[in-house]
Structure 1
Amino acid sequence: MDLSVRETQLHEERRPFVRATVVRAQPPTSAHSGDSALVLLDGTIEGFVGGQCTETSVRAAAQQVLDRGESLLLRVLPAEYDDFPETPGATIAVNPCMSGGAMEIFLEPRLPPTVVAVSGSSPVAQAVADFARRVDYTVEQIRGSDVPRDSAAVIIATHGGDEASVIRAALDADAGYIGLVASPGRGAAVLDEMDLTAPERARVHTPAGLDVGARTAAEIGLSIIADIVRAVRSGELARLPKQARPVPRTAVDPVCGMTVTVAESTPHLVVAGTDVWFCCPGCRRAYQKEHAA
């Protein structure tokens, strides 16, 4: 499997995922240093970073990486194992079903670029778009009041016009940051004329941007993008696209007690009409043997 081609496809589709790479492995693990895989939002793993017990730990850690938007070093160890050099700052996962060996897997988030939708063609609007591209954000031009559904931030810099319609559309699109370029008095007047709830009004930043004493169009554009960067990095503005995020289903392996993510490849049995899930085929065989006796 050519993961680089798949990564490009996911990036073009704006689908978040995690790149998992084995950086250290000790026999008898089935994976080797350099093995890699992509972990999708629903827990699907494409590629190879170890057996199914390891995949369970990787899926759980990948969800954390996507939530935080930060890389993570995962140490996967068998139970009661201490013959693997310590790595400060690593997250440890103990797999009771592993037959031996130990691994370290580096997980890197691959998140779609933040989308900044801009309404208007004023010098401020142009400056916002320019600075957004400089920090690798995706810029979308708003036509009328048609706000893209995956917009993380919406900036209205028309200096008049039907600003209320764009603000309403941005609120309905669940944009995390809505900025109206206007003086404090005019901005408040625009919002006063709209039938907004208190939480909705609180989501609209006007004047938009950080208060840095900006006067020129370039300075105002810079202050707005700086405020969006602040919101993204602080966690105030979600980095994942505004889409229905699947919640991975989990179950407890009745043999080893490990919590497993239920996926198409997860070993399972149907016992008396009930699904029973396992971390690996070994636990499934042990369960079958015990209940066949």
Structure 2
Amino acid sequence: MTTIAERARELTVSREPFVHATVVRAQGPTSARPGDAAVIRADGSIEGFVGGVCAESSVRAAALDALRDGDALLLRVLPDGAAPFPEGPGARVVVNPCHSGGAIEVFLRPMLPAPALRVVGDTPIGTAVTTLAAFLDFDVATSDDYAGCTAVVVAGLGRGEQDAIRSALDAGVRFVALVASRQRGAVVLDELGLTDAERARVHTPAGLAIGARTPQEVALSIMSEVVRAIQVDGLAPASGAPAVRPQQAVDPVCGMTVLVGPETPHARVDGQDFWFCCAGCLASYTAA
């Protein structure tokens, strides 16, 4: 059987975002034990074990928030009426009325793929950008496929520029940096006949104005602009359709937030849909 560690490695290699969940403390009675682990994917599916159905539902919901925010989170799942546990940055408390009576703490670590950067051009500037991007932990793409790239740097200095820009834009890349003077860059873009929206995605002259002279300094200015676009402007990779966040609902019996899926207990009463954390809450509601 594939272990959770092996599964995490597989998802990392395939550049799929996920959350690695590890039970760090458990207080009986509970089915989870310290060291139990799971991976939660962006669609809400879970592989592994971090507790029973009720605890798992709370972990799923918190994991999706961690995946969205990119911040690690310590989640404490408590039974109803348990002693308070202080919340704060990086910590969250969930009171789980249908929990078994024990308490668990789960560390949720979002694992997001490194941004992919494609460098076009076998030039001193292209080589410097490749070296610096690797140092900054970017995934420097070496194939001709632009799909999934966060940014593309075109440093051919007159060679293959238009084909590279057109291919990157067609692949949905939102940030294309063209290494050229302001005047030559404008000519290149005019010849491509870009739309206003496409032209806004091409940055030329590439890089921030830092007075760069050497290839290494130019690379620094370019990567500074790319990092700013990611960290400040929210630049995302060209990944096609955005991931669809699973629908959530509130269990009308225990008040828990549950993810709606094919296996989520469900009832339709008087034309209204209700979803439940477990079969017990479903039975309790329909019997009332």
1:91 Cα offset (Å): 2.1
Which of 203, 206, 212 is residue 214 of structure 1 equivalent to?
A: 212
Asked whether the 8 Å contact 1:131–1:222 carries over to 2, the reply is yes
* Alignment CA distance shift 1:166-1:219 (3 Å): same
Query: Match for residue 105 of structure 1?
Result: 106
Q: TM-score, normalised by structure 1?
A: 0.86
Asked whether the 8 Å contact 2:61–2:257 carries over to 1, the reply is no
Q: Equivalent residues in 2 for 1:1-293 (5 A)?
A: 2-81=3-82, 83-86=83-86, 88-89=88-89, 90-141=91-142, 143=144, 147-234=145-232, 236-238=234-236, 241-268=239-266, 276-290=274-288
1:236 Cα offset (Å): 1.9
1:121 Cα offset (Å): 0.9
Asked whether the 8 Å contact 1:179–1:204 carries over to 2, the reply is yes
2:248 & 2:85 partners in 1: Cα distance?
31
Asked whether the 8 Å contact 1:268–1:277 carries over to 2, the reply is yes
- Matched residue SS, 1:191: helix
1:235 Cα offset (Å): 5.2
Aligned residues: 286
Q: TM-score, normalised by structure 2?
A: 0.88
1:9 Cα offset (Å): 1.2
Deviations 1:127-155, CA, capped at 9 Å, x for gaps? 11111111222112364xxx421011111
Q: After the TM superposition, which of the residue ranges 198-207 and 249-258 deviates more from structure 2?
A: 249-258
Q: After the TM superposition, which of the residue ranges 108-117 and 162-171 deviates more from structure 2?
A: 162-171
* Alignment CA distance shift 1:239-1:197 (3 Å): closer
* Alignment CA distance shift 1:88-1:258 (3 Å): closer
Deviations 1:193-241, CA, capped at 9 Å, x for gaps? 3333333222211111222211111221222223222322335222694
1:243 Cα offset (Å): 5.0
Asked whether the 8 Å contact 1:114–1:152 carries over to 2, the reply is yes
Asked whether the 8 Å contact 2:266–2:273 carries over to 1, the reply is yes
1:164 & 1:23 partners in 2: Cα distance?
53
Counterpart of 1:182, as a letter, is A
- Matched residue SS, 1:247: coil
1:3 Cα offset (Å): 0.8
Asked whether the 8 Å contact 2:249–2:257 carries over to 1, the reply is yes
2:239 & 2:201 partners in 1: Cα distance?
18
Asked whether the 8 Å contact 1:256–1:283 carries over to 2, the reply is yes
Deviations 1:12-45, CA, capped at 9 Å, x for gaps? 2221110011223322232222221100111111
Structure 1 gaps, min length 5: none
1:115 Cα offset (Å): 0.8
2:17 & 2:263 partners in 1: Cα distance?
21
1:6 Cα offset (Å): 0.7
- Matched residue SS, 2:47: strand
Structure 2 gaps, min length 5: none
2:20 & 2:238 partners in 1: Cα distance?
16
* Alignment CA distance shift 1:6-1:154 (3 Å): same
Q: After the TM superposition, which of the residue ranges 217-226 and 121-130 deviates more from structure 2?
A: 217-226
* Alignment CA distance shift 1:234-1:74 (3 Å): farther
The percent of aligned pairs where both chains have the same amino acid is 50
1:35 & 1:87 partners in 2: Cα distance?
23
Counterpart of 1:201, as a letter, is R
Counterpart of 1:159, as a letter, is L
What RMSD over aligned residues (CA atoms) do the two structures have, in Å? 2.5
